[in-house]
């Protein structure tokens, strides 16, 4: 289909210095957990597919310009442009992006006032005292010689980037953890020389460095600055858009070819104000600051803010206030976003749900994952492509998928994409979606429904899938169904006995058949009555359920006590950035949080437990009801019965029975349930589909190029 | 010097199955943070030097046998024997160890009842529910087919190990996070088939697997089991040495060639009961369990327990109850431990101080570091050797080292080792040692004095160093001293104004000139009187000082409140394992801990602050005195004055002034201050000694062997 002309404005080319963007879609810098210097092949393929999907500019993650700024341990450690070998590894990504006519930007960064976790080097700081977010490091105040040396490191890195083929040098002055912004912020800058004091002085480091970058590579590379135009301090300790923000933009405007502005990040701990989770931030949440940047610059301007709607994007460009649509999470959820608009397939866009597991997962040393896009992070190592599917060699087989939650839905879609001719997706409930249907009803969680919406849209186009609802299948029903391949995706339920990973057994008195003991499914799905005012939530899971139910029930007027063996409210939400907003919210709602506490026994009016530090001193809570968020139990009875009846399977022509998603093993992340369904769909025609194929692993090798297929199956 | 014959017993060879240990020194399995499959060159050189230093057996860290057990994110992720390429990378370590006549063992492990952080595979579990320490993962209960497959993975890994040249297969059934031990523990095993129930049933998985390993590789490899002979549960939920421990050893005795027993680890969270920090565990702390193992086995037996004294080791062997001296931390602090005994240089041993930063550092994604051995982890990438030094090309220069704390001491020692002919080490205090002299007086910290003791011993042998105490040098004194190279190592002091990384300024009312405001140095060094009963400690540092002073003062009868912006008591001590014992101790001593709280203002009888979640609600503490552990300030005045007087330096023949240790940048870890002094000593004759030389970085490259010297200087 041709492009709807109302989106034409998004596809106008734009000159940025010596380069030209082919359209207005700009992948803002974001980390992936496998930066191109360390996992070059994974990085290259991850970014390439976005270029292929139509983004005019792809940026790297922040590339450290000097070993003093080696960031913290774990995966993010590896994002560097320290030497020619790093540049060489990155050139693989550069070439991959160029193949599709996109430009690529290198974000040059000095993150952390202190770090040295790998290099063991103390790092140069603007003023004394280590950085709040890098407190294990060591710093020394830089003198003018140190400043010159650091600026030379920027220039060296830019030269390396240019020789690797980068088109854009993106100078990061964002978040109060990058040296250029730390110079600008009074909070970090207590200098008394010409780099401290007045804002002109505080901006000097950034201005000088930008000038040096321009001089060194500005003839052949576009220069931009990723600038936190408002750090949301609200005081003169940070950057306020109408004051320091405007001032810097005016001062630096001649030095950049366009502005890559972002908002938030008074220190690194406040990153979720920039990468706002959908629970607490609407689409386009940065706009109210960005529009105030316009008067101060004559250069093209980027806007970001979890933009997922092409219509909003058109409006923004039409307003004349911004020129470029920036996005990070949207590019992860759907690398083909621009192309789908261009090809008139706007309804096929896979919208980011703003859950931020991408960040939580690579932030804790893993790879990037995505709830909506099961392929994210798997492009190289599993050879998957989010939009391309090979025809299954067993495509003439009929498949029955039992259960239409996230895993079952995804599996059915992938099987259909792979050309399986007959797929029945059978769901016990009245609607497809599984537990997401009620999860999306929790406060702030409505964007999660997009996981279901996208797949429902796909099913409406993929005619091979027949959806059957209101139908609960027993093992006998499955046997009699007539399918050759059976995929059990029946999900899980919350334990009704308080089964938990600490006691590894049930909790005395925990019996959700009683009126005063409840599980999340009973509340949300079965409308079990809440027994009184005072409620205790026991959260052994550590993600969103505990805190979110607490919010819901407190809003409904209950007095809620949240008890958890974790240090505080669901620690996964530290990684997703949700806790930054949710925890103060719970506090305001009067929710009492008992971190590092465990429940030992549940009575009708009293719950007894203990503080982990003092197991012998009982703690008592007087309550009217208890909500058990202790663990989930697979709905596997039908699967296990089928496994026990191999003869019956054979007799009924069933060649294989698989289980996916929570039915196999309850997953913390919806992303992993979706992945599991996707994985089985991709591998439905291998010798042993139940066992995932080995994947390519990038590692240094002794004498051979790395990344070869593992020579033994991983089995 | 020849070996003292009383140590001969430690050097008797011992047959273990098809192999022979050349002596009784056994490097028990321990992680390094750069496992040989991922950083093969770093690993090989790290282990090689231990082999060279006389250890008869070197073990790897735990090598995962299957991608389902890929452990957590970060550095420890990379410890695998999944395929032939892993084995190939490990073979570099094997060859390096063999070069010195030592044997090498591969510890085969399935750690984590759940993980899949990289592979995205749910993992097989003994019974339902994820593991307490791996709660982000997903598990499914294994059926018999799954058990067979997992056992086959063990065998496959053992075969790979054998072809890589490994001599010993070490089957890990330790800590309640390895599948074999989880089968054995009632706590984890709720199975009703022949793998659950009776102890014989629960031991079946381990016994079968050991038998399979023996059959597959037992002819050419020695087989051992790293067995937690007592998990310290104290109930039938775990392993008790006289019951389940004895039973398993009796059952498995025919299947192993020796026993590598360890104690503790009811679940992974309790690892510090095995790797006991010196604060809470005496040398040889595992003995009382290990000696009870003896009656149940006819095979050679390993004992571990932070053994650092050769005399204790002799006693243990002489007792006839054990045959092999196992050690991990001792091998890190002094890889040449056996050789020094063998060569009659027992006084030159560098004893482990039991601080456990080795573990804390690689455990959070960094490399291994060691307080005593600055070379640990640097062997490959910086080309250093703990016992070998090149003669400095500028050895005829005279050097003045100002300050004899850990950095200054280490630097003077290394300079002397490098043949510098004239080194003066000048200290203001009456003794060398710097702040360690009073730190070692804090409760439980006495082993830290070994850092000073070792260097004092070295100085007594290295005649080029003249130690001058009781002498505080001004800038003029330094200028007039007559040295050609000056190294300032004057350390740091605790801020007397409450300067901290959160406010990035002083705290109103924080003035340690007042009687009710104190710093650690004032208490420990200046004997400033403690002003009353109720004390508030404000800890913004996050390591040992806050909790340890709290312990000291509470023991002295004070009512102590510990306020900290961290979630709880010094989070670094989670990594070192100290908090597991310290926090309950503080609780028993009545210390009140306010985590996530910040101090805003200090009055004479009241401290005001707030909970970070609710900054607008003031919290008040009524106290008689406040102890500021907010940040350390470099003692850099003399250094800065010297820098400002280049002409005077020139006139006085001073060619260079360097600063190291806390004088440059206060370090959280003593290890990093020692490293800094060591580094300068190693590089005193480079073109620019102030700037560390680049180091080799192992990373995958596109078409060349990795680990080449970086082609650009790192600076």
Test A89 with B699 for CB contact under 8 angstroms. yes
Chain segment B653-671, per-residue pLDDT in tens = 999 999 999 999 999 999 9
Residue pairs spanning A and B at CB distance below 8 A: 252
Q: Which of A69, A665, A672 to mutate to test the interface with B (most CBs of B within 10 A)?
A: A665
Residue B594 near residue B501 (C-beta atoms within 8 A): no
Rounded to whole angstroms, how far apart are CA atoms A10 and A25? 7
Lowest mean pLDDT among A99-113, B43-57, B202-216: A99-113
Write out chain A residues lying below 8 Å of B679, CB-based: 120
Continuous segment of H or E residues that includes residue A539: strand A534-539
Test A129 with B501 for CB contact under 8 angstroms. yes
Shortest Cα distance, chain A CAs vs residue B145, angstroms: 12
Continuous segment of H or E residues that includes residue A649: helix A646-651
Find, among B702, B704, B700, B676, the residue nearest to B690 by Cα. Answer: B676
Rounded to whole angstroms, how far apart are CA atoms A427 and A470? 6
What percentage of chain B reaches a pLDDT higher than 90? 87
Chain B residue with the nearest C-alpha to that of A73: B365
Shortest Cα distance, chain B CAs vs residue A362, angstroms: 9
pLDDT at residue A697 above 90?
A: no
Rounded to whole angstroms, how far apart are CA atoms B617 and B29? 50
With tokens 């009929």, the residue in question is A398
pLDDT value of residue B707: 39
Closest CB to A502 among B132, B156, B705: B132
pLDDT at residue A618 above 70?
A: yes
Continuous segment of H or E residues that includes residue B644: helix B637-644
Please give the torsion angle defined by the CA atoms of residues B21, B22, B24 and B28, in that order, rounded to the nearest 10 degrees.
-50
Test A73 with B73 for CB contact under 8 angstroms. no
For B644, other C-beta atoms within 10 Å of its C-beta total: 10
Shortest Cα distance, chain B CAs vs residue A316, angstroms: 35
Q: pTM to 2 decimals?
A: 0.96
Strands (E), B272-347: 301-303, 324-327
Test A117 with B39 for CB contact under 8 angstroms. no
Shortest Cα distance, chain A CAs vs residue B500, angstroms: 7
| Order of strands across the sheet that contains A614-622 | A597-602, A606-611, A614-622
Test A72 with B365 for CB contact under 8 angstroms. yes
What single string gives the DSSP state of each residue in A44-98? HHHHHHHHHTT-SEEEEEEEESSGGG---SSGGG--B--SHHHHHHHHHHHHHHH
Half-sphere exposure of B213 (CA within 13 A, CB side): 34
pLDDT value of residue A709: 36
Rounded to whole angstroms, how far apart are CA atoms B158 and A344? 56
pLDDT at residue B283 above 90?
A: yes
Rg (CA), chain A: 27
Distance set, CA B221 to CA A296, B16, B27, B169, B174 (Å): 73, 9, 17, 7, 21
Test B89 with A699 for CB contact under 8 angstroms. yes
Shortest Cα distance, chain A CAs vs residue B138, angstroms: 5
Chain B residue with the nearest C-alpha to that of A153: B715
SS3 B59: strand
Chain segment A29-82, per-residue pLDDT in tens = 999 888 888 889 999 999 999 999 999 999 999 999 998 888 755 545 568 899
In this prediction, residue B640 has a pLDDT band, given cuts at 50, 70 and 90, of very high
In this prediction, residue A529 has a pLDDT band, given cuts at 50, 70 and 90, of very high
Lowest mean pLDDT among A3-7, A539-543, A557-561, B79-83: B79-83
pLDDT value of residue A230: 96
What sign has the CA pseudo-torsion B160, B163, B169, B175? negative
Average pLDDT score over chain A: 94
Closest CB to B699 among A37, A567, A703: A37
Write out chain A residues lying below 8 Å of B631, CB-based: 129-130
Rounded to whole angstroms, how far apart are CA atoms A74 and A38? 12
Helices B579-588 and B544-555, packing angle to 10 deg: 30
What sign has the CA pseudo-torsion A565, A566, A569, A570? negative
- Region of A568 (left: φ > 0; alpha: ψ -120 to 50; beta: rest) is beta
Shortest Cα distance, chain B CAs vs residue A312, angstroms: 34
Chain segment B366-415, per-residue pLDDT in tens = 789 999 999 999 999 999 999 999 999 999 999 999 999 999 999 999 99
Shortest Cα distance, chain A CAs vs residue B310, angstroms: 33
What is the mean pLDDT of the segment spanning A282-299?
95
Write out chain A residues lying below 8 Å of B139, CB-based: 665
Test B75 with A74 for CB contact under 8 angstroms. yes
Shortest Cα distance, chain A CAs vs residue B631, angstroms: 7
Write out chain A residues lying below 8 Å of B369, CB-based: 120
Find, among A148, A127, A2, A617, the residue nearest to B665 by Cα. Answer: A127
Global ipTM: 0.95
Write out chain A residues lying below 8 Å of B364, CB-based: 72-74, 117
Closest CB to A130 among B83, B501, B708: B501
Secondary structure (H, E, C), B230-275: ECCCCCCCCCCHHHHHHHHHHHHHHHCCEEEEEECCCCHHHHHHCC
pLDDT value of residue B128: 87
Test B699 with A700 for CB contact under 8 angstroms. yes
Test B504 with A188 for CB contact under 8 angstroms. yes
Rounded to whole angstroms, how far apart are CA atoms B118 and B97? 30
Chain B residue with the nearest C-alpha to that of A44: B702
Residue A389 near residue A417 (C-beta atoms within 8 A): yes
Closest CB to B88 among A72, A73, A702: A702
With tokens 């160890």, the residue in question is B97
pLDDT value of residue A271: 87
Find, among A676, A679, A645, the residue nearest to A663 by Cα. Answer: A676
Chain segment A190-233, per-residue pLDDT in tens = 999 999 999 999 999 999 999 999 999 999 999 999 999 999 98
Rounded to whole angstroms, how far apart are CA atoms A694 and A672? 17
In this prediction, residue B78 has a pLDDT band, given cuts at 50, 70 and 90, of low
Write out chain A residues lying below 8 Å of B176, CB-based: none
Write out chain B residues lying below 8 Å of A587, CB-based: 613-614
Test B631 with A153 for CB contact under 8 angstroms. no
Shortest Cα distance, chain B CAs vs residue A18, angstroms: 28
Rounded to whole angstroms, how far apart are CA atoms B408 and A692? 55
Write out chain A residues lying below 8 Å of B117, CB-based: 364-366
pLDDT at residue A390 above 70?
A: yes
What is the mean pLDDT of the segment spanning A690-702?
88
Residue B327 near residue B24 (C-beta atoms within 8 A): no
pLDDT at residue B422 above 90?
A: yes
Lowest mean pLDDT among A196-205, B260-269, B293-302: B260-269
- What are the phi and psi torsion angles at A319 (to 5°)? -60, -15
Find, among A496, A493, A498, A495, the residue nearest to A607 by Cα. Answer: A498
Write out chain A residues lying below 8 Å of B130, CB-based: 501, 631
DSSP H helix total and E strand total for chain B? 22, 27
Test B668 with A706 for CB contact under 8 angstroms. no
Shortest Cα distance, chain A CAs vs residue B260, angstroms: 28
pLDDT value of residue A711: 31
In this prediction, residue A268 has a pLDDT band, given cuts at 50, 70 and 90, of confident
Test B365 with A136 for CB contact under 8 angstroms. no
Chain B residue with the nearest C-alpha to that of A710: B83
Angle at A145 between CA B649 and CA A188, to 5 degrees: 120
pLDDT at residue B556 above 50?
A: yes
Test A711 with B364 for CB contact under 8 angstroms. no
Supply A171's token pair: 């100078």
Closest CB to B567 among A72, A367, A567: A567
Shortest Cα distance, chain A CAs vs residue B459, angstroms: 26
Shortest Cα distance, chain A CAs vs residue B584, angstroms: 5
- What are the phi and psi torsion angles at B398 (to 5°)? -95, 140
pLDDT value of residue B708: 37
Write out chain A residues lying below 8 Å of B92, CB-based: 702
Write out chain A residues lying below 8 Å of B505, CB-based: 190
Closest CB to A120 among B39, B78, B672: B672
Test B140 with A675 for CB contact under 8 angstroms. no
pLDDT value of residue B709: 36
Chain A residue with the nearest C-alpha to that of B581: A613
What percentage of chain A reaches a pLDDT higher than 90? 87
SS3 B575: helix
Q: Which of B34, B73, B597, B661 to mutate to test the interface with A (most CBs of A within 10 A)?
A: B73
What is the mean pLDDT of the segment spanning B192-197?
98
For chain A, the farthest-separated pair of C-alpha atoms sits apart, in whole angstroms, at 86
For B95, other C-beta atoms within 10 Å of its C-beta total: 14
Continuous segment of H or E residues that includes residue A324: strand A324-327
């Amino acid at each position: 289909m041709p492009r709807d002309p109302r989106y034409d404005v998004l596809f106008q080319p734009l000159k940025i210095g010596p380069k030209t963007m082919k359209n207005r879609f700009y992948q803002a810098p974001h980390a992936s957990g496998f930066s191109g210097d360390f996992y070059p092949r994974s990085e290259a393929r991850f970014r390439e597919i976005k270029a292929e999907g139509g983004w005019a500019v792809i940026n790297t993650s922040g590339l450290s310009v000097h070993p003093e700024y080696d960031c913290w341990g774990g995966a993010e450690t590896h994002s560097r442009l320290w030497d020619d070998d790093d540049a060489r590894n990155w050139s693989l990504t550069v070439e991959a992006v160029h193949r599709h006519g996109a430009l690529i930007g290198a974000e040059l960064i000095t993150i952390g006032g202190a770090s040295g976790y790998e290099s063991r080097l103390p790092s140069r700081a603007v003023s004394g005292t280590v950085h709040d977010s890098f407190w294990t490091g060591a710093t020394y105040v830089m003198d003018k010689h140190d400043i010159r040396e650091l600026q030379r490191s920027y220039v060296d890195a830019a030269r390396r980037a240019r020789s690797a083929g980068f088109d854009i040098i993106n100078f990061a002055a964002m978040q109060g953890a990058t040296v250029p912004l730390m110079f600008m912020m009074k909070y970090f800058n207590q200098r008394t020389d010409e780099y401290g004091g007045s804002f002109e002085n505080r901006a000097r480091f950034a201005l000088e460095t930008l000038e040096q970058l321009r001089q060194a590579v500005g003839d052949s590379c576009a220069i931009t600055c990723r600038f936190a135009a408002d750090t949301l301090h609200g005081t003169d300790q940070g950057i306020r858009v109408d004051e320091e923000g405007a001032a810097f933009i005016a001062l630096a405007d001649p030095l950049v070819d366009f502005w890559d502005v972002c908002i938030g990040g008074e220190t690194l701990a406040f990153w979720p104000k920039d990468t706002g989770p959908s629970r607490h931030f609407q689409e386009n949440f940065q706009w109210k600051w960005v529009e105030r940047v316009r008067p101060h610059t004559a250069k093209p301007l980027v806007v970001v803010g979890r933009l997922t709607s092409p219509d909003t994007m058109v409006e923004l460009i039409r307003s004349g206030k911004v020129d470029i649509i920036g996005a990070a999470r949207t590019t992860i959820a759907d690398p083909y976003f621009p192309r789908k608009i261009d090809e008139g397939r706007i309804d096929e866009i896979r919208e980011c749900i703003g859950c931020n597991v991408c960040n939580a997962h690579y932030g804790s040393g893993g790879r990037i994952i995505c709830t909506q896009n099961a392929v994210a992070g798997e492009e190289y190592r599993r050879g998957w492509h989010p939009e391309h599917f090979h025809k299954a060699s067993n495509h003439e087989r009929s498949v029955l998928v039992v259960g239409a939650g996230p895993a079952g839905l995804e599996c059915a879609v992938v099987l259909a994409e792979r050309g399986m001719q007959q797929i029945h997706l059978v769901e016990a409930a009245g609607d497809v979606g599984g537990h997401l249907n009620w999860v999306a009803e929790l406060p702030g969680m409505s964007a999660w429904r997009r996981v279901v919406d996208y797949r429902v849209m796909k099913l409406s186009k993929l005619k091979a899938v027949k959806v059957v609802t209101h139908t609960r299948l027993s093992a006998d029903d499955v046997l009699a169904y007539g399918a050759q391949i059976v995929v059990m995706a029946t999900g899980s339920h919350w334990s009704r006995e308080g089964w938990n990973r600490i006691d590894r057994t049930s909790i005395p008195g925990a019996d959700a058949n009683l009126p005063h003991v409840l599980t999340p499914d009973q509340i949300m799905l079965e409308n079990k009555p809440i027994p009184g005012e005072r409620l205790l939530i026991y959260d052994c899971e550590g993600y969103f359920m505990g805190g979110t139910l607490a919010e819901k029930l407190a809003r409904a007027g209950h007095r809620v006590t949240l008890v958890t063996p974790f240090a505080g409210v669901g620690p996964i939400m530290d990684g997703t950035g949700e806790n930054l907003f949710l925890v103060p919210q719970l506090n305001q709602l009067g929710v009492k949080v008992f971190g590092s506490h465990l429940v030992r026994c549940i009575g009708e009016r009293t719950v007894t437990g203990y503080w982990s530090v003092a197991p012998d001193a009982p703690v008592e809570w007087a309550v009217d009801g208890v909500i058990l968020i202790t663990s989930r139990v697979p709905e596997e009875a039908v699967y296990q019965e089928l496994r026990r009846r191999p003869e019956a399977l054979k007799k009924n022509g069933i060649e294989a029975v698989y289980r996916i998603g929570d039915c196999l093993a309850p997953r913390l992340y919806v992303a992993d349930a979706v992945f599991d369904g996707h994985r089985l769909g991709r591998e439905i025609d291998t010798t042993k589909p139940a066992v995932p194929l080995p994947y390519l692993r990038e590692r240094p090798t002794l004498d051979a190029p790395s990344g070869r297929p593992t020579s033994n199956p991983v089995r």
